[in-house]
Amino acid sequence: MEYECPLCNGLKNIEVHCPECHRLMADMGRIHDYYDDYSPYEPIEEIKLADGFPDNTKTHQCPHLFICVECDTKEVRLISEWSEEEALRKE
């Protein structure tokens, strides 16, 4: 069964507030995309094996970088991926 991130695929939006200034943080996408010039083009499941987040392949989670545009605080949140069936139910 394949799983996909609802944020990466535009199926869901979430609001994350900065722990420092409480402003709304911007979702900058997958943290993997910032590793090097070629990481956005690497297969997602392969890059997950070496991303420093244990078990995110098994638990089907996508690490997203959020940045506060006000105070530049950065935070990574693990977003639960949806199976194809879940995505169809939520549309």
Alpha-carbon span 5 to 25, nearest angstrom: 19
pLDDT at position 91 is 63
What are the tens digits of pLDDT across the range 5-28? 999 999 999 999 999 999 999 999
pLDDT at position 56 is 84
pLDDT at position 34 is 86
What are the tens digits of pLDDT across the range 25-64? 999 999 988 888 888 888 888 888 878 888 888 889 999 9
pLDDT at position 39 is 84
pLDDT at position 52 is 81
Yes or no: say if 73 and 21 are a contact pair by the CB < 8 Å rule.
Answer: yes
For 67, other C-beta atoms within 10 Å of its C-beta total: 16
Q: Which string of DSSP letters, residue by residue, matches 3-68?
A: EE-TTTTTS-----B-TTT-PBEEEEEEGGGGSSTTGGGS-HHHHHTTSS-TTTTTTTEEEEEEEE
